[in-house]
Amino acid sequence: MVLSHTAEDYLEQIYLLSLRLGMVKTSDIARELGVRTPSVISALKLLKNRNLVHYERYGAVTLSEKGLERARDVYERHKTIYRFLRFILGIDDEIASEDACGMEHFVSPKTLAAMKDFFAFLAWKKSQGLDIQSELRAFRKRGSHIPGGSITMTSESPEAQPLSAGKDNVLYTIVKLGGERGVKRRLLDMGVIPGETVKIQNRGPLGFPLEIVIQGYVLTLRKDEAEAVTVREA
């Protein structure tokens, strides 16, 4: 069932209110979501058409079976993200909750599962005597450092070449990206962007993959990716 993220928020809030108050009124929903009651009413009509809530004029709002299922699902996402932000990244209560309520509508099942795995992983490491959470907290407290130092930007003349033909430890400026759609998108996502400066810092045993440094991050590029990147000596 395709559902807008506002619709999901209404479901989520009805669910929470029913847990907290037992009976849910339109005004409660409005107060909680920060909208006016007429907005709630039309949202309820939409949800009712999709058989997600039961609602009659002047009556209480309740979730249908389907609605309850969906609401629980939304809230499960909310809680997982909230915990992740709060207990792993160390974000404040309020902000973690806000961010979670925004992101919950866009997180894939795989990402969600990975977050849960991460909790399990930390618990396991802790049982082995390594408390990553508190190490991270301490690390952030004493001021964090970007690894590898940042790279200076330049832009000048010599001839363009694919990064795959580049030499180690030379600064290159990225001129252009080629390759097919998927490759291009991945490169951009990783920060491999025209104008940026890049350095090959290491490489695999057969010459590839390349380990490059860009914007202070270390990335690994496969051969096809490195060929798609046109650079010029910086």
Query: How is 165-215 classified by DSSP, letter by letter?
Result: GPPBT-EEEEEEE-S-HHHHHHHHHTT--TT-EEEEEEE-TTS-SEEEEET
Output the CA torsion sign for 227, 188, 100, 85. positive
Q: Which of 4, 19, 27, 38 contacts a copy of itself by CB under 8 A?
A: 19
Q: Which does 35 bind (CB under 5 to 8 A by kind): Mn ion, DNA, a copy of itself, none?
A: DNA
Q: Does 107 bind a copy of itself (CB under 8 A)?
A: yes
Select from 34-42, 85-93, 97-105, 117-125 the region that touches Mn ion (CB under 5 A). 97-105
Q: Which of residues 162-221 bind a copy of itself (CB under 8 A)?
A: 177, 182, 184-186, 188-191, 193-195, 217-218
Q: In terms of CB distance, is 156 or 189 closer to Mn ion? A: 189
Q: Which does 217 bind (CB under 5 to 8 A by kind): a copy of itself, DNA, Mn ion, none?
A: a copy of itself
Q: What is the Cα–Cα distance from 203 to 16, expressed in whole angstroms?
A: 53
The least CB distance from residue 49 to Mn ion, in Å, is: 21
Q: How many residues bind Mn ion (CB under 5 A)?
A: 4
| Per-position x/- string for 97-136, each x denoting binding to DNA as judged by CB under 7 A, each - no binding | ----------------------------------------
Q: In terms of CB distance, is 23 or 170 closer to DNA? A: 23
In this structure, the number of other CB atoms found within 10 A of the CB of residue 111 comes to 15
Q: Which does 27 bind (CB under 5 to 8 A by kind): DNA, Mn ion, a copy of itself, none?
A: DNA
Residue in 2, 46, 11 with CA at minimum distance from that of residue 32: 11
Residues 112-135 as b or e (16 or more Cβ within 10 Å = b): beebeeeeeebeeeeeeeeeebee
The least CB distance from residue 24 to a copy of itself, in Å, is: 14
In this structure, the number of other CB atoms found within 10 A of the CB of residue 226 comes to 25
Is the CB of residue 174 less than 8 Å from the CB of residue 198?
yes
